[in-house]
Amino acid sequence: MVQPSPSTAPPPLICFQGNCGGRNPHGMTGALALAQRLAAVLGIPLQTLGAPGQALSGSWQQMLEAVTPDFVSLGRYLEKTLSAGKRPVLTMSRCAGALATLPVIARQHPEACIVWFDAHGDLNTPETSESGYLGGMVIAGAAGLWDSGLGSDLSLAQVILAGAHQLDPAEQALIDDKRLLHLPPAQLDVEALQRAINGRPVYIHLDCDVLQPGVVPSDHQIDGGLATECLAELMAALAEEDVVGMEVAELEARWPNATEPADLTVLVEILMPLARRLLSDETPCVR
């Protein structure tokens, strides 16, 4: 594969501003706020993709149809970025955007594992989902348990479900059948995560609702999540792995009923060791 020269390589800090199937627009402003903060701290350019729009309504099929054109564009840009030898950091509004990213990662890095930080499993299919929420079907779609039309290159065996503690029966059944590895909050520490990765390249997905309530605004504030100190330790450890990229979703720019933007300092500090390594020209320090 021909590698673009550094002058023509796409910027690896990406904010996807299109709708990811959210029922409110707050995640789009949150994704942009975080990306702008990272760009300012690191002094690097930011690439925005898509245009923010209104909240979507309707069934998961209607939402998927509405977002698919932008998702296809997101997938193509990510593929171009990876092909240029870059290790992207992507912010997006909702988890459903990973329907576009995970198949690309699986094609470009078939040996990689996916560390999926999330309070939820996102392993439902249209048949098993009680809510019909598109974001709750992401991993299952990328792994071909249902057809999203956006690719099914991912294997469930590549997935490390980190911090999930709100699981539906069908999701728990996949875990019980050992189709993927699950590290709930009580079992999630640096040593356990390193054992699970086992020297493989890593792609990271961070859903901000994996954190304890009150840290950063997200659509779901769920008791039993990770403490900021725990997530910071995990991210620092991941910075020493062979990380091929990272995406962050489910962050909102303001707390409900607030007029001022939320303080994202804690989240930026948690992400910074890993973001700095990914978005610099440094070679990953592989254990």
By residue range, what is the domain housing residue 36? 13-279
Confidence of residue 6 (pLDDT cuts 50, 70, 90): very low
CA distance 226 to 238: 16
Q: Is the pTM of this model over 0.75?
A: yes
Q: What is the pLDDT of residues 257-287, one digit of tens each?
A: 999 999 999 999 999 999 999 998 544 444 4
Model confidence pLDDT, tens digit, residues 79-112: 999 999 999 999 999 999 999 999 999 999 999 9
**Residues 122, 137 contacting (CB under 8 angstroms):** yes
Domain contains 287 = no
Rounded CA gap, 272 and 256, in Å? 26
Classify residue 1: in a domain, yes or no: no
**What pLDDT does 25 receive?**
86
Residue 160 lies in a domain: yes
Cα distance between residue 217 and residue 209, in whole Å: 8
Report if residue 80 sits inside a domain.
Answer: yes
Contact 93, 19 (CB under 8 A): yes
14 touches 47 (CB < 8 A) = yes
Given this model, what pLDDT does residue 1 score?
31
Residue of 48 and 284 predicted with greater confidence: 48
Residue 56: predicted pLDDT: 81
Domain count, the chain: 1
Output the pLDDT for position 285. Answer: 45
Q: Is 274 within 8 Å of 246 (Cβ atoms)?
A: yes
Phi, psi of 12 (to 5 degrees): -85, -10
User: Within 13 A of 171's CA, how many CA atoms are on the CB side?
Assistant: 23
> Using CA atoms, how far apart are residues 194 and 168, in angstroms rounded to an integer?
27
Mean pLDDT of 214-230: 94
Q: How many residues does the chain have?
A: 287
Count of Cβ atoms closer than 10 Å to residue 43 Cβ: 7
pLDDT, tens digit (0-9, with 9 covering 90-100), for 223-264:
999 999 999 999 999 999 999 999 999 999 999 999 999 999
- The per-residue pLDDT for 180 is 98
Residue 222 domain-assigned?
A: yes
CATH value at residue 183: 3.40.800.10
pLDDT for res 11: 86
Would residue 170 count as lying in a domain?
yes
Predicted local distance difference test score (pLDDT) of residue 54: 78
Residue 101: how many other CB atoms lie within 10 Å:
29
Distance CA 67, CA 208 (A): 22
For 131, phi then psi, to 5°, come to -90, -25
Tokens of 52: 């923010």
pLDDT in tens, 128-183: 998 889 999 999 999 999 999 999 999 999 999 999 999 999 999 999 999 999 99
CA triple 15-254-219, angle to 5 deg: 80
What confidence category does residue 8 fall into, taking pLDDT thresholds of 50, 70 and 90?
A: low
- Report the distance separating Cα 237 and Cα 222, nearest Å: 25
- Cβ atoms of 277 and 284 within 8 Å: the answer is yes
Q: Quote the pLDDT of residue 23.
A: 77
Residues β-bridged to residue 161: 116, 182
Inside any domain, residue 5? no
User: Is residue 6 a part of any domain in this protein?
Assistant: no
Closest by CA position to 203, among listed 154, 167, 252, 147: 154
At 284 the pLDDT is 47
